[in-house]
Structure 1
Amino acid sequence: MTITATTSTGTAQRTDWRGWVALAVLMLPVLLVSVDNTILNFALPAIARDLEPSSAEQLWIIDAYSLVLAGLLVTMGSLGDRLGRRRMLLFGAVGFTVVSVLAVFAPTAGWLIAARAAMGLFGASLMPSTMSLLRDIFPDRDQRRIAVAIWAGMFSAGAALGPIVGGFLIEHLPWQSVFLLAVPVLVLLLVLAPVFVRESRDPHPGPVDGASIVLSMLALAPIAYGIKEVAVHGAIGAAPIAVGALFAWLFVRRQRAMDAPMLDLTLFHRPAFSGSLLVNLCSVIALVGFLYFASQHLQLSVGLSPMAAGFALVPGMALSILGGLAVTPIARRHPASIVVPASLMLALAGYLIVALAGAHDLWLIVVAFALLGAGIGATETVSGELILANAPAAKAGAASAVSETAYELGAVLGTSILGGILTAGYRSSLVVPAGVPDGLAAHARETLAGAMNAADELGGEVGGALRAAAADAFDGGVAVTSLIGAALVVLSGVIAAITLGGRRGAARP
């Protein structure tokens, strides 16, 4: 299959054409996950109208997948190193397919939240497997850097394709149809992966430690949940974070005492590894937070159809792909501590446009997201490759799982913190016009979708006044949220400048 040996001089041999075919196969689950996440953002207004979830349930529909995923990523990545990364990939593909079909029949918000949580269980074995297999398929670092750029680009391509395909489905079919997209993609993966992707694992794995698995789940899931609760309910929601921190401490103690730990904690001693993780975390928060309010603003305030809203964000997604590919030759010649902060300046400009100029003009949103996409796409390509380069090949699954944990926590934080702040700003500034019945006023105060549904039900001047008041309140919250997003981008740039020193960074054997 692919060549993974090294020459007598220690220089990794270059992968032949079969490795690139294997890369194409591995892009199928990457495409699926990115499409699924973006479709759900654009399907949320339709789901809100049909299932009438509360504001908390609305956030849970988005977050349930990420929270379960975050709790299991390290476990699944470590199991992939021990049991086989391709095996874990196929396990996740089968489970994700079955649960996606079950989500189609969701009659309530609770059912859909449960289905999303089950998707997180199987999704936890998909994404770490794809990235860790890249470490084995492409031992040559220059080829691997291109492969990581393609990996990141496919993720962005899926995010760009999701709104368009999802918009078409939502306009012509019930919202449940968006979950059926997983079926043909994963069936194709199940056919092609055994043929083109060879198995890889840690050649000297330690035993599977059940206590470490339990401790990692009891640490990550409560922390992710607690962060979400703090964002929505304030300090009263901090208790789960304390519980998760306690189990994290116990997890770390156990790993340090083991001869073959589930997670090699020495990885975090390398500034390039830890710094790249933090850069990815902050960048994803900024990106997902922008998508959360932009998708609602374009559909509910501007009045675009789901497909039209998806097309409005395509330039940003396309530039995310181009940014990741364009930065590859630059990263060969210049230190990441310069390349990443420079890339993030584009993302900062995007957020500042919305914060200072407002979100009233459609073209401002398009330009702002184009800048944000280009900057984040270039940043994640460089930082993602650094994470793989600074981990031993035998531990690629665990390292990739840590990277994906940072990504999923970023997705939770982007929705929860920025989404929670946006919701709080909306509720505090919404002035319900006179003449709106108490029941409809309560729905209007919950979410923007609730306000628009109430306005449609009322009709006439009162309905129009409620629609205008809700749009103004939402746009005011967007401005505040954009300033916070800009601050996160600045923080990410500072972390990169401090930690990502060196021209190329030393690769681990």
Structure 2
Amino acid sequence: MSSQITERISTLSRSRRWAALAVLLFPVLLVSVDNTVLSFAVPAISAALSPTGAQLLWIIDIYPLILAGLLVPMGFLGDRIGRRKVLLIGATGFALVSALAAFATDAFQLVLARALLGVFGAMLMPATLSLIRNIFPDAKERRTAIAIWASAFSGGAVLGPIVGGILLEHFWWGSVFLLAVPMLLPLLVGGLLLLPESKDPNPGRVDPWSIVLVIFTLLPFVYAVKSFTTEPLYIAVGALSLAIVSGITFVRRQLVLANPMIDVRLFSNGVFSGALTVNLIGVFSLVGFIYFVSQHLQLIAGYSPLEAGLLMTPGLVLTMAFGLLSVPLAARFGAPGIMVGGLLLSALAYALVVFAGSSGDVFWLMVAFCILGIGVGMSETLSNDMVLSAVPAAKSGAASAISETAYEVGAVLGVAVLGTILNTVYAAQLRVPEILTDAEVHLAGETLSGAHQIAQGLPASQAQELLASAAHAFDNGVLITSSIAAVLALAAAIVVARIIKPATR
């Protein structure tokens, strides 16, 4: 059975292979567009649904949080029952729930819809990467295919602000979620016609305890990070303790199973672990930057959503371009050096925000974002290829899921860590007019959007005073979070340089 599956995929014609890749780019574009559009829709959502600061973070975080918890189980499911089947089920569910999210009438409904999107989104990403691993058995072709796959994330990030900006200027905030429907139709049709089915020929039996343990490792861990500054300390400590105990139990169980869900021994491989580190830190840097710069451009600099999207387009285009350029660069200089260079550029970008962009000048913010885009583009493509190359093709679904889990945990932490610190600094430094009621003080201190809402009902002089204080407090928070991100990227570059050998290609 194994040889039949391998022969079926490896003998696809060249045109069929690249046509199949084109189909697989649609869910990648969708997820990227969804994340970027949501960041730009934050002011509109805040105005329409009046979420609290915690609810606003949950609207953004709940999707990648659920995604991170389910990626490994869904990758395992795809290995077992068929990756194409799981991909098409996920695409159908994602389109339907996106339509429901568009018509949410309060913050809780939107959080719930985003959670369901996380469930179906978890079916999409591991399937796309693992199908690429099996469709392209040639290492050189596969690296190019993965470069295109990774660049699709940047392409979606470029498309999201522009299309989302147009929608937000002419329609209500929910229109951004309806983008999923037309984007997934080509996947459903093309998937049935072009994608070959593939799965692990010897998947072993399903181990329900492994599924439970991996969920109870990832979900509480990310929640603990989120809740340290927003919930009582005992809740965060309890969640972290649960994650640690579940994680240790999961690892010990995988070591004794004949057919483990994850071969945890892979983590002793420096290439595998280093590549995952690059995935996590790279996305952490990108998502965290987009979270605060999209608000700065709209709520402080005064740009429309479309104008803000256009300003960020050069940086996102550079992410895509250097994702493709990373392949020939790696062939000449070695993949480890290119990845380390990408992390160093990410650190430089955040340092530029701290030193040159301390005034909140838009020009320097956009220069920093361009540098960050180059760094992320250089590192992400090669790290994904390294993860897949470290495992047999039959286990590519699980390996893809691990890679995507690092990616999504990085996305969660980018918003949860940097966003929470930013909101905490903002609330501590905000100064409000004395005439505000307790409820108005609370709303203004929750988010930058809340301060703008309160300012609309104040006399001109006091509104100006509140907005000036809010902008100052927000930008001070940005400086602190940028310093943290710069140090993390620099530390990751040092670690990766030490554990991935220069000979790795």
Q: Taking structure 1 as the reference length, what is the TM-score of the superposition?
A: 0.95
After TM superposition, list the pairs within 5 Å mapping 1:47-446 onto structure 2.
Answer: 47-233=45-231, 235-236=233-234, 237-357=236-356, 358-446=358-446
Give the superposition deviation at 1:160. Answer: 1.1
Aligned partner of 2:448 in structure 1 is: 448
Aligned partner of 2:472 in structure 1 is: 472
Q: 1:234 to 1:297 in 2, by over 3 A?
A: farther
Q: What is the identity, as a one-letter code, of the residue corresponding to 1:282?
A: I
Aligned partner of 2:457 in structure 1 is: 457
Distance in 2 (alpha carbons) for counterparts of 1:206 and 1:359: 58
Contact 1:89-1:129 at 8 Å conserved across structures: yes
Aligned residues: 499
> What whole-Å deviation, never above 9, does each CA across 1:301-357 have from its counterpart, x for those lacking one?
101101111111101100001111112112123333322122223222211111112
Q: What is the identity, as a one-letter code, of the residue corresponding to 1:328?
A: V
Distance in 2 (alpha carbons) for counterparts of 1:491 and 1:304: 35
Q: Which moved more, 1:432-441 or 1:484-493?
A: 432-441
Q: 1:13 to 1:197 in 2, by over 3 A?
A: closer
Distance in 1 (alpha carbons) for counterparts of 2:232 and 2:479: 21
Give the superposition deviation at 1:417. Answer: 0.5
Give the superposition deviation at 1:235. Answer: 4.7
Distance in 1 (alpha carbons) for counterparts of 2:221 and 2:349: 30
Please tell me whether residue 19 in structure 1 is matched to residue 17 in structure 2. Answer: yes
Give the superposition deviation at 1:13. Answer: 8.3
Q: What is the identity, as a one-letter code, of the residue corresponding to 1:245?
A: I
Q: What is the identity, as a one-letter code, of the residue corresponding to 1:270?
A: N
> What whole-Å deviation, never above 9, does each CA across 1:343-385 have from its counterpart, x for those lacking one?
2232222111111122521111111100001101110011111
Distance in 1 (alpha carbons) for counterparts of 2:436 and 2:102: 35
Give the superposition deviation at 1:3. Answer: 11
Q: What is the identity, as a one-letter code, of the residue corresponding to 1:422?
A: L
Q: Which moved more, 1:267-276 or 1:299-308?
A: 267-276
Q: What is the identity, as a one-letter code, of the residue corresponding to 1:382?
A: L
Distance in 2 (alpha carbons) for counterparts of 1:459 and 1:407: 46
Q: 1:13 to 1:141 in 2, by over 3 A?
A: farther
Q: 1:269 to 1:169 in 2, by over 3 A?
A: same
Q: Which moved more, 1:245-254 or 1:64-73?
A: 245-254
Give the superposition deviation at 1:126. Answer: 0.2
Distance in 2 (alpha carbons) for counterparts of 1:238 and 1:415: 20
Q: 1:84 to 1:335 in 2, by over 3 A?
A: same
Distance in 1 (alpha carbons) for counterparts of 2:434 and 2:18: 63
Contact 1:36-1:179 at 8 Å conserved across structures: yes
Q: What is the identity, as a one-letter code, of the residue corresponding to 1:397?
A: G
Q: Which moved more, 1:486-495 or 1:371-380?
A: 486-495
Distance in 2 (alpha carbons) for counterparts of 1:52 and 1:281: 31
User: For 2:503, what is the secondary structure of its paired residue?
Assistant: coil
Aligned partner of 1:9 in structure 2 is: none
Distance in 2 (alpha carbons) for counterparts of 1:309 and 1:359: 18
Distance in 2 (alpha carbons) for counterparts of 1:359 and 1:374: 24
| Aligned Cα root-mean-square deviation (Å) | 1.8
Give the superposition deviation at 1:297. Answer: 0.5
Q: Which moved more, 1:344-353 or 1:280-289?
A: 344-353
Distance in 2 (alpha carbons) for counterparts of 1:235 and 1:499: 35
Give the superposition deviation at 1:233. Answer: 4.5
Distance in 1 (alpha carbons) for counterparts of 2:261 and 2:78: 11
Distance in 2 (alpha carbons) for counterparts of 1:214 and 1:3: 30
Q: Which moved more, 1:149-158 or 1:343-352?
A: 343-352
Contact 1:14-1:139 at 8 Å conserved across structures: no
Distance in 1 (alpha carbons) for counterparts of 2:232 and 2:266: 33
Contact 2:87-2:127 at 8 Å conserved across structures: yes
Q: What is the identity, as a one-letter code, of the residue corresponding to 2:292?
A: F
Contact 1:282-1:491 at 8 Å conserved across structures: no
Give the superposition deviation at 1:230. Answer: 2.1
Contact 2:278-2:343 at 8 Å conserved across structures: no
Contact 2:291-2:415 at 8 Å conserved across structures: yes
Q: Which moved more, 1:229-238 or 1:261-270?
A: 229-238
Q: Taking structure 2 as the reference length, what is the TM-score of the superposition?
A: 0.96
Q: 1:278 to 1:235 in 2, by over 3 A?
A: farther
Give the superposition deviation at 1:194. Answer: 1.2
Q: What is the identity, as a one-letter code, of the residue corresponding to 1:84?
A: G
Distance in 2 (alpha carbons) for counterparts of 1:360 and 1:255: 49
Q: Which moved more, 1:489-498 or 1:153-162?
A: 489-498
Distance in 2 (alpha carbons) for counterparts of 1:21 and 1:3: 19
In the alignment, structure 2 segments of 5+ residues that lack a partner are none
Aligned partner of 2:500 in structure 1 is: 500
Contact 2:67-2:122 at 8 Å conserved across structures: yes
Q: What is the identity, as a one-letter code, of the residue corresponding to 2:122?
A: A
Q: What is the identity, as a one-letter code, of the residue corresponding to 1:110?
A: F
Q: Quote the sequence identity (%).
A: 49
Give the superposition deviation at 1:187. Answer: 1.8
Q: What is the identity, as a one-letter code, of the residue corresponding to 2:238?
A: A
Q: What is the identity, as a one-letter code, of the residue corresponding to 1:133?
A: L
Distance in 2 (alpha carbons) for counterparts of 1:359 and 1:91: 48
Q: What is the identity, as a one-letter code, of the residue corresponding to 2:214?
A: S
Contact 2:336-2:504 at 8 Å conserved across structures: no
Aligned partner of 2:35 in structure 1 is: 37
Contact 1:337-1:498 at 8 Å conserved across structures: no
Q: 1:148 to 1:214 in 2, by over 3 A?
A: same
> What whole-Å deviation, never above 9, does each CA across 1:158-195 have from its counterpart, x for those lacking one?
01110111111111000011111111111221111011
In the alignment, structure 1 segments of 5+ residues that lack a partner are 7-11
Give the superposition deviation at 1:234. Answer: 7.8
Give the superposition deviation at 1:439. Answer: 3.0
Contact 2:58-2:111 at 8 Å conserved across structures: yes
Distance in 2 (alpha carbons) for counterparts of 1:339 and 1:474: 34
> What whole-Å deviation, never above 9, does each CA across 1:60-116 have from its counterpart, x for those lacking one?
000111111111110000111111111110010111111111112211100000000
